[in-house]
Each structure stands twice: as C-alpha cells, then as structure tokens.
Amino acid sequence: MPFKKEAYDSLQQELIKSNTTLVAVSKMKPIEDLLEGYQYGVRDFGENYVQELVDKYEALPKDIRWHFIGHLQSNKVKYIAPFVHLIHGVDSEKLLVEINKQGEKNNRIINCLLQVHIASEETKFGFGEAELSLLIEKFFQHKQSNNDRLLKHIHIMGLMGMGSLTDNPQIIDNEFKSLKRIFDTCQSIESENFSLTKLSMGMSGDYKIAISNGSNMIRIGSMLFGERTYPSK
C-alpha cells in the first residue's frame, strides 16, 4: 500500500484548523501510487522534474492541480506552461520573463510563487531579501503608465522557501520566521498581477514548525508516499 492513507487523514485533520493546502509531493513515484492518492481524494500533486511531470499529466485525470516545486530551467517552461497550476520556485528574472512569454503563447495566466533563499546552505535556490525587493519594484510596483507591457500572463500569488537540512529545529524555526516576516512586508504591495496570499513552506520533516510560523501551503512527500530511492549516478 504505497499511498499512506492514515498519514493523509491525520495531516488533513491537522490542517483543517489553519486552512492550509496540502501538496502531495510524488516525485520519483510511479503513476500507480499517484492514482491511489487520487482515488483517495488528493487533487494537488507536486513534482520536481519537467519530463516526469509531463508524463504524469498525460497519464492521469485532468482535474489534478499540478504544482511544479523543483528548480525550473527557462528552456523547459514551454513543456509545462499549457497545464501547470502553480510554479513554486521562481528564482530569477529570466525565468519570470520566460514564464510570462509562455503564458502568453498559451493564452493563460500562470500562477507563480517567488522563491526566497532562507537556508544557510548555498545550494538552495532563491532570491535574497534585497534582490526580492528590487525585483518586485521593477515588475510589480510599476507606475500605471507602464502597466501595459509588464508580465500580463503571470500572477504572483505568494512566496516559497525551504529550510536548512538540519536536525536543529531552532535553526529552521528562525528561517521560517524570517520568511514569514518578508511575506508580511510584501503583502502590502498589490497590483493586478501581484497579491501575496500563499506561503509555501514546510516538508515532511518540518511542516509543524512551518505551520506554527504561518505557512498555509505545505509540500509533503515521504510522509505520504514513503521514502524515495534515487537511482545511483
């Protein structure tokens, strides 16, 4: 029984109070496991790899909301642009511009979260706080007169961040607090294509800390589908 129903039920129970969205992270898992989750009621799935996401999209029911949570390369946006529900990890201006372009081609508005770098590790992607302010200023706080040409096919719905890989909950707590503070600050900014309502933070190991710090979207993989085995390189 690959999809862990008890874990799903108890997570849902925990989340009801806080109105938090549960994204079931199914990367590296076979279609059958996802289908089992689907049949149990899961509609939000998260994937990290473009080709895998496209294959699963084609094989599975069309009312699934697909979240892209991995690191997205600009040249691959075109493959997921027709159907993706939310891109969590927008971490560069180049990517933002490309998503907008593909949104226009597909005649739709693509929902995105801006990824913020909060972990101490250098390997985690995302904007630094100062960089984020500059980006928002450039694209989303523009004067009315510029409104026409800027990123009409994007909707920034929130922020996403990943805590450090550490056993020390205090470190993660601090990182999540800092992301929440940035989120609150940016919430005062609103324009047609920018309004922050979603804060995507928390995974299997740290979702409780995330929720206590105001997360309203958690990305849960191994708790729901079991540990992943990565093919050896």
Which positions lie near ligand PLP, rule CB under 6 A? 25, 27, 48, 69-70, 162, 203-205, 219-223
| Cα(190)–Cα(44) distance, integer angstroms | 26
Instruction: Point out the residue whose Cβ comes nearest to ligand PLP.
Output: 221
Q: How far is the CB of 85 from ligand PLP (least distance, A)?
A: 15
Diameter of the chain measured on Cα atoms: 57
Residue 28 vs 97, nearer CB to ligand PLP: 28
Q: Which residue, 6 or 148, is less far from ligand PLP as judged by CB?
A: 6
Task: Tell me the closest approach of the beta carbon of residue 162 to ligand PLP, in angstroms.
Answer: 6
Of the candidates 220, 231, 229, the residue with the CA atom closest to the CA atom of residue 37: 220
H-run or E-run covering 90 = strand 86-90
Nearest residue (CB) to ligand PLP, 102 versus 200: 200
Least distance to ligand PLP, CB of residue 168, Å: 16
Tokens of 167: 């056993």
Phi, psi (5° rounding) for residue 28? 70, 0
Which token pair is 7?
A: 């874990």
Cβ closest to ligand PLP, residue 132 vs residue 162: 162
| Partner residues linked to 218 by β-bridges | 22
Shortest reach from residue 228's CB to ligand PLP, in Å: 7
